[in-house]
Amino acid sequence: MFAAAGKNPGETQAKNPGQKPSTEESKNPGNAETQAKTQAKTQGKNPSIKTQAKTQAKTQAKTQAKTQAMTEILAQISSPSFTAGIVLVDDVVTETAPIVRFMRRWSRDRVRDYCAKYHWKIVVVRQGPREAEAQPLPAEPPTPGITQHEESFEVVLPDGQVRFVYFDDNAGRRAISGRVTRREAFRRAQELLNGAAGKAQPLPRS
């Protein structure tokens, strides 16, 4: 009886390590894997949620930008030989007088630097809001030709490009600056224009 009783613990101990896990225990690893996959899918959706939030923020920003009024500036440019006006919308030139039409689509800083280079005076006449719906009129195509300024000839080519040929009537200054006479400058301006239009123009009167 003692021997039989002694076998029971041994048999129990021998069988315990080799026993198969119960049905519930065998299912637990699968449940853990399913939970892990579910969490991974949930985490994978987070970037898309962030992307949607960013897209909504950008859309709202664009809508607010459209509703805000644009700034319109009327400026006057003065030089020894002419006075002209320009209109800037959001610091970009949209309208100009014919003599400074080459400034169209220039930025405010570029206009300021150009005027400073030639010692022209520029002042703001009026500044205020401009409704976003009121779009500026499209710029008219430039008319090819030659325009005489105080110290240069402005050449407008048929494709809209603008060139300048500078001159000086003072022989002493010409020797220093390297500029040419008025007549020679006009001849060169005609060569630029004739290369595209093939027409000659008389020398403009000063």
The count of domains in the chain is: 2
Asked whether residue 74 is domain-assigned, the answer is yes
Distance CA 60, CA 52 (A): 12
Mark which of 130, 161, 176 sits at the end of a domain.
130
Asked whether residue 99 is domain-assigned, the answer is yes
Examine the domain organization and report whether 112 and 75 are in the same domain: yes
| Domain boundaries, position 156 | 145-194
More confident of the two residues 50 and 171: 171
Burial-class residue 140 by CB neighbours within 10 Å (0-12, 13-18, 19+). Answer: exposed
User: What does the angle CA 188 – CA 161 – CA 111 come to, to the nearest 5 degrees?
Assistant: 105
Examine the domain organization and report whether 120 and 154 are in the same domain: no
- Of the pLDDT bands very low, low, confident and very high (cuts 50, 70, 90), residue 186 is very high
pTM of this structure: 0.38
Distance CA 130, CA 95 (A): 14
Asked whether residue 180 is domain-assigned, the answer is yes
pLDDT, tens digit (0-9, with 9 covering 90-100), for 131-156:
655 555 666 677 888 999 989 999 98
Examine the domain organization and report whether 126 and 74 are in the same domain: yes
Asked whether residue 84 is domain-assigned, the answer is yes
Examine the domain organization and report whether 121 and 154 are in the same domain: no
Strand 92-96 vs strand 121-130: parallel, antiparallel, or unpaired? unpaired
- Of the pLDDT bands very low, low, confident and very high (cuts 50, 70, 90), residue 40 is low
DSSP state of 205: P
More confident of the two residues 55 and 2: 55
Asked whether residue 101 is domain-assigned, the answer is yes
Spatial contact of 92 and 67, defined as CB atoms under 8 Å apart: no
Examine the domain organization and report whether 121 and 153 are in the same domain: no
More confident of the two residues 117 and 39: 117
Burial-class residue 111 by CB neighbours within 10 Å (0-12, 13-18, 19+). Answer: buried
CA 167 to chain CA centroid, Å, is: 37
